[in-house]
Amino acid sequence: MNQPFYPVSNEERTYGMLCHILAFSGFIVPFGTIIGPLIMWLIKKDQSAFINDQGKEAVNFQISCAIYAIVGAVLCLIVIGVFLLIALGIFWIIFVIIGSVKANEGKLYRYPMTLRFIK
């Protein structure tokens, strides 16, 4: 589903993009990958259906990736986890960028392999 709910304003697109791109705050702040998108979504979710949708999607994706990383870390005991963590890191960076770009275009974006905890 890549169609907007309705014509999305520039401000809504910017905040939708920030919901996705704030995941990179994890490079600076511990747990920032989840906390950054979560804070932006909680602050702006009542102002726009588009921001609410993209914020939920970003938070769900970050939680899913954290779970996958924990599984990969456990699997490091049998070596395959190292390769899974490398693949997950590349997957994460690419799809956060794609989600940010799509939200900035005003399109609804759905991450692949995402567990939907927040509906």
Residues 71, 77 contacting (CB under 8 angstroms): no
Q: Which pLDDT value is given to residue 6?
A: 64
Rounded to two decimals, the pTM is 0.89
Q: Which pLDDT value is given to residue 118?
A: 87
Helices first, then strands: H and E counts in the chain: 4, 0
CA–CA separation, 24 vs 6, rounded Å? 28
For 78-107, the pLDDT digits (tens) are 889 899 999 999 999 999 999 999 999 999
For 41-85, the pLDDT digits (tens) are 999 999 999 999 999 999 999 999 999 999 999 999 988 989 999
Residue with tokens 């932006």: 40
Closest CA to 96 of 109, 78, 83: 109
For 1-34, the pLDDT digits (tens) are 556 556 888 999 999 999 999 999 988 988 889 9
Q: Which amino acid is at 27?
A: F
